[in-house]
């Protein structure tokens, strides 16, 4: 019989110290109406019996949210599920089943993008967080990071994936994609997340990373020419 971790059953609840991350995840578990989000995605999510059995939608959706909130690459999110008990429990992953790998995590994000659900879900969750006082929206910090990929990465047509591209940073060449993020200064949460090929200039995505209600913005020198 499959044994599932219950978020309220975590060992840390018996310990003397509960971390800020654990408190935050416990709050997210309660305030976000997960069922409504699952209903939005369900028509597009693979059904059991069509090839490999998919992970439960409730689990992979929570993994996706963890990835956005903590600004993790697909590979780093996979590692976090192995390393951080509170994240694994929050995602309702079974004790006796495998962890979603980075490809599964990436494919779910692509599914949301393909059906124009990613931004809708992000904006909906951000509104709930704002209503709950988690997001204050006084200031944003914007940044970009390169997500490395093997140079042999190919799509189903055996062609180099158009999402992946070569770019030079400093004196080193990198191949992969670029994650552009907007972070709420007060909470440290990622409120906006977009991805492009690695050679996309940071400035081109700057306006997508702001919600428009900022009183102040933090950014590195790479954004100095962004239109104010």
pLDDT in tens, 17-44: 788 888 888 888 988 889 999 999 999 9
**pLDDT at site 114:** 92
Domain extent for 159 = 139-223
pTM of the predicted structure, to 2 decimals: 0.63
Query: Does 149 lie in the same domain as 126?
Result: no
Q: How much is the pLDDT for 227?
A: 52
pLDDT of residue 47: 84
Domain boundary among 99, 131, 163: 131
Residue 61 has a pLDDT of 96
Separation CA 116–CA 118 (nearest Å)? 6
Same-domain pairing of 63 and 162: no
Where would I find the H helices in 1-56?
20-31, 34-41
Q: How far apart, in whole angstroms, are the C-alpha atoms of residue 198 and residue 16?
A: 44
Other beta carbons within 10 angstroms of residue 153's beta carbon come to 13
Same domain, 50 and 159: no
Considering the domain architecture, whether residues 24 and 116 belong to the same structural domain is answered as yes
**What integer pLDDT is reported at residue 140 of this predicted model?**
62
Sequence-ordered strand ranges (E) for the chain:
139-148, 165-169, 172-184, 190-197, 216-218
Q: Where is the domain boundary, 131, 162, 181?
A: 131
Tally of domains in the chain: 2
Residues 75, 188 within the same domain: no
pLDDT score for 22: 85
Under DSSP, the state recorded for 188 is -
Q: Are 223 and 203 in contact (CB under 8 A)?
A: yes
Q: Which pLDDT belongs to residue 111?
A: 93
β-strands 172-184, 190-197 pairing? antiparallel
Torsions phi, psi for 216 (to 5 deg)? -155, 155
Same domain for 14 and 109? yes
Ranges in the chain, pLDDT < 50: 1-3, 8-9, 12-13, 136
Q: Do residues 164 and 147 share a domain?
A: yes
Residue 28 has a pLDDT of 87
Helix axes 57-70, 34-41, angle to 10 degrees: 110
Q: Is residue 202 part of a domain?
A: yes
Q: Which 3 state secondary structure label does DSSP give 61? A: helix
What tokens were used for 133?
Answer: 């006082």
């Amino acid at each position: 019989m499959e044994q599932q971790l219950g978020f309220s059953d975590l060992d840390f609840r018996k310990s003397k110290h509960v971390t800020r991350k654990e408190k935050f995840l416990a709050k997210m578990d309660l305030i976000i109406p997960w069922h409504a989000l699952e209903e939005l995605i369900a028509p597009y999510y693979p059904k059991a019996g069509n090839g490999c059995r998919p992970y439960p939608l409730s689990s992979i959706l929570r993994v996706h949210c963890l990835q956005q909130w903590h600004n993790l690459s697909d590979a780093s999110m996979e590692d976090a599920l192995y390393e951080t008990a509170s994240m694994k429990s929050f995602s309702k992953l079974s004790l006796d089943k495998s962890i979603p790998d980075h490809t599964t995590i990436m494919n779910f994000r692509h599914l949301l993008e393909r059906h124009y659900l990613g931004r809708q879900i992000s904006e909906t969750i951000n509104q709930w967080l704002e209503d709950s006082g988690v997001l204050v929206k006084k200031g944003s910090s914007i940044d970009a990071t390169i997500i490395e990929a093997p140079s042999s990465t190919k799509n189903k047509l055996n062609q180099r994936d158009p999402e992946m591209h070569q770019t030079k940073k400093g004196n080193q060449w990198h191949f992969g994609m670029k994650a552009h993020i907007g972070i709420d200064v007060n909470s440290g949460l990622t409120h906006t997340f977009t991805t492009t090929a690695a050679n996309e200039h940071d400035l081109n995505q700057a306006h997508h990373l702001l919600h428009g209600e900022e009183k102040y913005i933090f950014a590195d020198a790479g954004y100095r020419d962004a239109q104010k």
